[in-house]
Amino acid sequence: MTLIALTSDNHLDLNKVDIAELVVNQAQFLTQAHVELLLIAGDIANDFGLTTSYIKNLQAAMPEIPVRFVAGNHDMLRNVTYAQLQGVVMPEYLNHKIYDVPETNWRIIGGNGWYDYSFADNLDKKVTDFEHWKRAYWVDGQIEQSISDPERLNIELNEIEQLFKQATEKSILFLTHFIPNKKFIRYTDDNRFWNMANGMMGSTKMEKLIEKYQVKIVHFGHIHDAQTPVKVGSAWYFNQAVGVHRGKTIEWHEPSFFDAWKRRLRIINLQDYK
C-alpha cells in the first residue's frame, strides 16, 4: 500500500485555528492512519509567512511523513513576492518541483497554477475588462505582480510542461491550486459577479496539458465545494477543500476545524490508480 493524504483550502487564519494544537492533532491522526505522504493544494493562510511556519512545524511533528504543498492565491496575499514564489523557499514547497514516491513509479509534480480568463469565455469581455474588475472586486488584486495574468499563466504552463515531459515513463500525480478543468466551473444566468470571477479560477490550457501528458491524478483546490472524485479523460480529479466558517460564510458545520479537516481529508492508495 502507498497511502497519500489530500487536503486543501484550510484557511487557518480565517478559521481562527489554534495552530499549535492543530499540528499535534494532525500529526497524530496521520501517523495512526499510516499515511506516507501529505499533499496540500494551497490556501493554507492569508500570509505566506504563516503558511510556511505551519508547514515547518507540521513536518517537524511527523518527520517520517513527507509534507508537500503548493501556494494558493490566499497564501500569496502577504509577505511573499512573485519572484520568491518561483524560488525554492523550503524543501516542502513543490512549486515547479517533483517528488518521487519511494518504491513506486509515481511522480508528484507541483505547480501553483494561475489563470488567463478562459473559463469566462462565455462573456464578451476584453483582457482589460477582467483586469479592472479584478482590481476592484477580487482578493487577488492585492497580489504583487509585474506581468499580466495571461503572461503569468503561460510561464506556469511552460514550467509544468517541462516537468511533464520528463515524466513520460512515470505515473503522474499533479498537485496544483487553481481549477484545472472546466468541468468544475459554475456558470450562472446573469453576467455579474460569479461569471466574471470564473475568469480567475484557472485555464482551459491547463486542462489540455493534463490530457496531453495522460496525467493520472490531479489534486487541486480554490473552490470550496464538497465534491466527490471524478474521472475526466485520463485523470482522476480530487478537490478536498475544507473551506471557511466565519461570519456569513459558513462552509462547514462540524464542531471544530479539526473535525472539518478530518471529514474533508481524503486518503487514497496509489495502487488503486495504476
Contact 141, 132 (CB under 8 A): no
Return d(Cα 129, Cα 75) in angstroms, integer.
Answer: 25
3-273 belongs to which CATH class? Answer: alpha beta
Instruction: Give the global pTM.
Output: 0.97
pLDDT for res 226: 77
What burial letters (b/e) apply to 97-114, b meaning 16+ CB within 10 Å? bebebeeeebbbbbbbbb
The pLDDT of residue 191 is 62
CA–CA distances in Å: residue 114 to residues 10, 118, 125, 195, 245? 19, 11, 19, 17, 25
pLDDT at 263: 97
- Residue by residue, pLDDT tens for the chain (274 residues) are 699 999 999 999 999 999 999 999 999 999 999 999 999 999 999 999 999 999 999 999 999 999 999 999 999 999 999 999 999 999 999 999 999 999 999 999 999 999 999 999 999 999 999 999 999 999 999 998 999 999 999 999 999 999 999 999 999 999 999 999 999 999 987 667 889 999 999 999 999 999 999 999 999 999 998 789 999 999 999 999 999 998 889 999 999 999 999 999 999 999 999 8
Q: Locate the domains of the chain by residue range.
A: 3-273
Q: pLDDT tens for residues 34-47?
A: 999 999 999 999 99
Q: What is the pLDDT of residue 219?
A: 98
